Chains A and B, each alone.
Chain A
């Protein structure tokens, strides 16, 4: 926390007289990813050009982390933004920070860069003091130069061609926040210029001389096995095919002409023969079915005592949802001179490398996995799978780069979905309308089957001659119980989780179980508010103790106090603190209900993500998160029959189009003296509840099953009958 006494030692003009700033933090522990990787030169290096190159194990997914990290490095080193370049996830260059996930990149990676850059600054100044034979406090620092009277030396001159060495050691003197020129500001993301100019940016844009195109022939259901493939007939039909790879039931084809390879893939769909495979249950009542499946039951929280006479009960339902990246997954792999290089938009280059090493039986050091931007993924989509498939194919054509592009149908049908979930909650109110008891149960499949070094989580590994099959695991794990405990002061509370292993392939989707849990909790809070005859704001505030939580809810109330609804419209709210430890977020939704249809008119969010790094980054993520969550909540549901998922394009799995987009408004509360927190997932759950609550306010109909459009249709058909 900023120490006023050191202000006396600070100069104006953005220059710092060095050496007098006191330790910013007294904590002994290294923050974030420095714990695992304390070396300064793992995080940054000084280039001869005067630029500083920063390394992060995280990848840019459209969330703006590249810019936020650059801002923090530039700030500590007193550099302008354009003098900092950022190298992202790369197994030969960046630190191993496993996955870009859980809104944790700011808290772990950006913080590590901040402390490493501050340490680098101190080291550079020490060297300068020696070389100029003066005291550190007589030096000034600007634009990559250290100045002493009329002499100056660049960072790279100070290092004499060497690199920074040594480890970051606490305590570290950070730049005083009042001197900040970049952090906290809405700094532009430079890659947006590349995007609008159609410059090469995505993995899909990579082109290498001699590169060939690949496609996979997919089975008709998850565990079908290949019975017969007439390679002769295939090759006769498509003479340009360069290679047909059949490894067990893994089938890939490659050729120079992408269109021909696509046509061959289509031909194989009609001509390859597969076993039928285990049929999927396609029960009429999915909820009863999922609840009946075996799996661990685990008490997550229990305090106080629960009587058996709860007054109010409700059940909420969330279907399977898909990530639905606009650009289907893609990778390039190149096996040459015994070494395999892969370009991927995977969220975890190191765990992917580990899984590939086991799947391919190729030594780790011979695999280089490099992160490249892709279409937004919002969690674990087909990125790792397509990289593994490209790797398998590239190994059969040494020296030739192989580009594998999934089709829309493959992404829709084969990606690991966000699990369906069921929530049952009951509560008892006291005479003042306070919640006395809260008993909450949830049922869910897992929310992470990321590779994590395990080949069985890579799709193609399941089809090889010696398949790596997913291990049966029926344990309750962290993702499903995320935000299952309400962030309210409840004297008697029980939260219980039930695990099932459902019919569809599932994994991490933005906010994991947090989306469904917050939807259920915050809808029920509204239902209870009505029973208690309290206003929804008032009822939440009665049960909140954390002042930052209270502040976001009150700010939202203030914003809405000036708003008026038109006939047929209603406003609902939702609140959560993401993971109960990260960003605070309150959302309001205004919907209009006309007959069987509902339209989202406007969404408001108030968010507190601690210290703001990039203001526009937080706003962009929050606006986008609200719109995405509204699309999930109103319209989306993965459907399947006894063979396979049947939502295989954008008509069978519709998402919001331009005509459905509401107006959005985001208010960010800055907490300059608090830890900066990720903001990418905080809004997903509160938005869902706000929408259902708004529907209730507009129409009097309480919808407890997602997607809302389907439930509202059902509800209103029932009314009419």
Chain B
């Protein structure tokens, strides 16, 4: 059953007519045409679909859009300020931290979340913060280097 609800994404309010059970990911990708959050498993096991819910990283592939309608949703598209990249985005470029890049969304969004909680996390905290995100190319060593570059 479709209903109309308000969703706040990257600082903009959207009015959407939609099945309220739809997982957030499909709303972001299909209705709002965002590319940041990606489909990886639909099971909250891989983190490709990570978004910030009220500033905290959370997978978007299972959580119903109805559940998050009162939360501030931020995707990878929303972490930069205008044309200035978030320092983590810049660090990923500087360290060339990607191979296929499919997991980069999950890694960056999780890293933003980690730094929000503690601006100078130790390595263990960083790793814990990124534990939910899988990378198959084996680029994790570069992600760690990029994040450490920002907190130095």
A residues in contact (CB < 8 Å) with B: 61-64, 186, 188-189, 191-193, 195-202, 204-205, 207, 257-260, 323-328, 373-376, 378, 405, 407-408, 616, 620-621, 623-628, 631, 649-651, 655-659, 661-664
Would you call A327 and B93 a contact (CB within 8 A)? no
As a 0/1 sequence over residues 46 to 84 of chain B, the CB contacts with chain A under 8 angstroms (1 = contact) are 101000000000000000000000000001110010000
| B114 CB → nearest A CB, Å | 11
B137 on interface, CB distance cutoff 8 Å: yes
Given the contacts A198-B35, A650-B46, A616 and B127 also touching, CB distance less than 8 Å: no
Partner of A205, one of B35, B43, B142: B35
| A376→B100 contact, CB < 8 A | yes
Q: Which among A62, A193, A626 is the interface contact of B100 at CB below 8 angstroms? A: A62
Given A198-B76, A408-B42, A623 and B131 contact (CB-CB distance below 8 Å): no
Contact of A259 with B138 in the complex, beta carbons under 8 Å: no
User: Does B117 belong to the interface (CB within 8 Å)?
Assistant: no
Q: Provide a sorted-by-A list of 7 A–B residue pairs whose CB atoms are within 8 angstroms.
A: A196-B108, A202-B102, A258-B26, A259-B21, A623-B138, A624-B138, A658-B144
Query: What B residues does A662 contact at CB under 8 A?
Result: 141
Distance A196 CA – B130 CA, assembled complex (angstroms): 16
CB distance A376 to B105 under 8 Å? no
Q: Is B13 engaged at the interface, CB distance under 8 Å to the other chain?
A: no
Of listed B35, B75, B101, B131, residue having the most chain A CB within 10 A? B101
B46 touches A373 (CB 8 A): no
Residues of B within 8 A of A649 (CB): 41, 43, 45
Contact A628 B138, beta carbon cutoff 8 Å: yes
User: Which residues of the other chain, A, contact B138 by a CB distance below 8 angstroms?
Assistant: 623-628, 631, 656
Closest to B34 in A: A198
Contact A661 B43 (CB under 8 A): no
In whole angstroms, how far apart are the Cα atoms of A339 and B48 in the complex? 34
CB within 8 A of B98: which of A195, A378, A623, A651? A195
Kindly state the separation between the CA atoms of A657 and B130 in the bound complex, as whole angstroms. Answer: 8
Residues of A within 8 A of B93 (CB): 188, 192-193, 196
- How many Å from the CB of A201 to the closest CB on chain B? 7
Q: Which residues of A lie under 8 Å from residue B22 when comparing CB positions?
A: 259
Which residue of A has the minimal Cβ distance to B36? A198
Q: Which residue of A lies closest to B141 (CB)?
A: A664
Given contacts A188-B93, A649-B45, contact A195 B101 (CB under 8 A): yes
Report B-chain residues with C-beta under 8 Å of the C-beta of A188: 93, 96
Given A204-B39, A378-B136, A623-B142, A326:B127 Cβ within 8 A = no
Interface membership of chain B positions 88-112, coded 1 if the CB is closer than 8 angstroms to chain A and 0 otherwise: 0100110011111111110010000
The residues of A that contact B34 with a CB separation of less than 8 Å are: 198
Q: B100–A374 contact, CB under 8 A?
A: yes
B46–A326 CB distance below 8 A: yes
A626 to B138, CA, bound (A): 7
Most chain A CB atoms below 10 A, which of B127, B128, B136: B136
- Hey, which chain A residues are within 8 Å of B97, CB to CB? 192
If A192-B96, A259-B19, A326-B48 touch, whether A376 touches B43 (CB-CB below 8 Å) is: no
B19: which of A260, A408, A627, A655 is its contact (CB, 8 Å)? A260
Contact B33 A61 (CB under 8 A): no
B23 / chain A contacts, CB cutoff of 8 Å: 259
Q: With A650-B45, A651-B45 in contact, is A199–B141 under 8 Å at CB?
A: no
Q: Is the CB of A196 within 8 A of B92?
A: yes
Expressed in whole angstroms, the minimum distance between the Cβ of B107 and any Cβ of chain A is 9
Assess A327 versus B40: contact at CB under 8 Å? Given A196-B93, A376-B102: yes
Q: A326-B100, A661-B141 are in contact. List 9 more A-B contacts (CB 8 A).
A: A61-B100, A192-B98, A196-B76, A326-B46, A327-B39, A408-B45, A628-B136, A649-B41, A658-B140
Q: List the A side residues contacting B134 at CB < 8 Å.
A: 326, 650, 655, 657
Return A280 CB to nearest CB of chain B, in Å: 24
CA A200 to CA B99, docked complex, whole Å: 16
For A61, A326, A621, A625, which residue has the most chain B Cβ atoms within 10 angstroms?
A326
Q: What's the least CB distance linking B120 to chain A, in Å?
A: 18
With contacts A198-B77, A408-B40, A620-B96 taken as known, whether A658 is within 8 angstroms of B105 at the C-beta atoms is no
Q: Is the CB of A189 within 8 A of B141?
A: no
Cross-chain contact A204 with B42 (CB below 8 angstroms): no
Closest 6 CB pairs of A and B: A627-B138, A62-B100, A376-B100, A624-B138, A62-B99, A195-B101
